[in-house]
Amino acid sequence: MTSLPIEATMTIVLLSICAIVYLASFFPKLKKNHKETTTFLASKSLPAKREFESYALIYTVIWIICFGFVVVSQVYETFDEYSYMKLCGGLALPFLLQPIVYPLSTESKLPLFERYSFKANVWLFIFGFIGNYWYTHYFYDVLKASYTFPAHRLNDVPISMFFATHFYFVTYHTFSNMLLRYVESRYEVGWPRTILFWLVVIAFSYFTAFMETLSISNFPYYSFENRYMAYTVGSAFYGIYFLASFPMFYRIDEYPVNNTVATKDNNKASPKIYTLYQTIMEAMGCGMIVLLLLDFCRLYCGIDLHISGVAYYIYRNTATN
């Protein structure tokens, strides 16, 4: 009996997960005014978060077009290590520098450390840095993956990937915010909504991991020893990142109306937003949660972890096609 292609098998898995989420959506009770409250973008009472998510969606279209052109046209065949740094660093800068050089209208008068866009970038950059610096080695050992393109490397990981991860993650987490907000804004509080919330987290985590794996499958310089493992186990393994990060990132400045603190005059209440310190600590904590989950999976599979190499070096690909 001929087995289905990997892509077809994984599509069936994804459709099955989506079907479960769809069925689960019938159990939570709709809010009485759900037609008015249901939203994907942050509510108008959260103008800074709403504006940044809109900005992220617009820029997502731009970076996908740029990145897609490089992959489809195979112009990367002419790239050296500096070209990869320019491409990935250049595409990350509109996110990284936006809070500083182009503050959004809703937060232009706020101190830099209080701007949602700045905190969101800090959170995702920390999480992405941890992911590249540590988690990549789990892909090296568990999935026998390897980067073979010319690159400046830190801890044997291409530095250009630290930047690429950033604009990827901003996009992923913007969409996850929208999906999780849709659930919370549409349905009444209760255990059916909680179950649906986490099913959406699981489904979108797996979907995100699988789609990224699929989208770079034709890039020859990120290879796997076993392609089937990359799509099946690899997608689930990568999805672990987002099981923790999607719900934790969503919390940043999401509930200011019901979470207030007294002002100095003790007569009024002002919205309680995340401090930069809280943002940094939660990003670090999320990184540790994922690290533990990945290591539990590695131990379960009985695979040794090997991390070796120097702190920084330049790898030049000498292979010929």
pLDDT digit string (tens) for 31-88? 999 989 999 999 888 999 999 999 999 999 999 999 999 988 999 999 999 999 999 9
Rounded CA Rg of the chain: 21
> What is the pLDDT, as a whole number, of residue 256?
65
Q: In the structure, what pLDDT confidence band is assigned to residue 220 with cuts at 50, 70 and 90?
A: confident
The CA distance from 155 to 110, in Å, is 37
Strand order in the sheet with 312-315: 157-158, 151-154, 312-315
Structure confidence by residue, pLDDT tens digits, 14-41 = 889 889 999 999 999 999 999 899 999 9
For 179-198, b/e burial (b = at least 16 CB within 10 A) is bbbebbbbbeeeebbeebbe
Q: How far is CA 248 from CA 123, 170, 183, 280, in A?
A: 10, 14, 16, 12
Kindly report the number of other CB atoms within 10 A of residue 64's CB atom: 15
The DSSP secondary-structure symbol of 130 reads H
